[in-house]
Copies of this chain bind each other. A is one copy, B any other.
Amino acid sequence: MQQRKFTSEQLAQMESRYRARLINSLSGFKSANLVGTIDAQGQTNLSIVSSVIHIGSNPPLLGFINRPNSVERHTLENILQTGVFTLNSVAADFAPLAHQTSARYAKQQSEFDAVGLTPQFETGFDAPFVLESELKMALTLKEHHRIKVNKTEMVIGQVEQIHLPSDALKADGYLDVEAMDLVTLSGLDSYHTTQRLFRLEYAKPDKKLSPLTVDGAESQWPRGHDKYS
């Protein structure tokens, strides 16, 4: 395919929405999660984020980026007030409702009501889960970092609870998020479902790599990858 090059000068001169769509596409596919929070007065908030990343597994930590001066700011204020939040994976069937949470609703309007998703509360944890989501985590705030160059905030939470569908959890701990019909995002607004190519075994310097099934058993290379046999 014909390649095209953009320099930093060209990026700086782009029309802002065009640049936002392009730059948001660069990282590749992203996770789609709903952050559920509540303020000290009991007002709930729900916000779709595409920046949730794995920070560590022991202790179990996830992080995400909060933009400054956006609708998501309510999310950050609530987390700083209460110290807790939930993450709820977005599946294909309610992806449009999840996307609608990105509209700039007023602080006093709950996105749950506005878009038609259902808050679910667990005893002993203040922040609301999303009933419609099959994979939900309760997290407590551990630290947050101000990104100096553009004043966004990195929020890092420790996973205190996981709710997941039993059938999707494999014997070796792998969770089959594809079987749960979770979507992945590209750019600002494109939603995709997935098709597994393979799992790959743990790589070692002097060993030929083998593909694995979803259950972690040795497998064959699929068509198109025969050169790796």
Contacts and interface: CB of A to CB of B under 8 A. Distances in A.
Contacts of A198: 190-191
A54 interface: yes
A121 interface: no
A134 B29 contact: no
Copies in the complex: 2
Contacts of A63: 65, 147
A117 interface: no
Contacts of A52: 27-28
B196 A192 contact: yes
A1 B132 CA distance: 12
A177 B29 contact: yes
A166 B1 contact: yes
A11, A51, A182: most-surrounded residue (chain B CB, <10 A): A11
A18 B174 CA distance: 8
Name the interface size band of chain A: 35 or more
A61 B149 contact: yes
Interface string A16-57: 111111111111111111000000000000000011111111
Contacts of A19: 57-58, 60, 173
Nearest to A228: B96
B189 A199 contact: yes
A103 interface: yes
Interface in A125-183: 134-135, 137, 142-143, 145, 147-150, 152, 154, 156, 158-169, 172-175, 177-178, 182-183
Contacts of A137: 26
Contact of A21 (B12, B104, B173, B225): B173
Nearest to A164: B4
A173 B209 contact: no
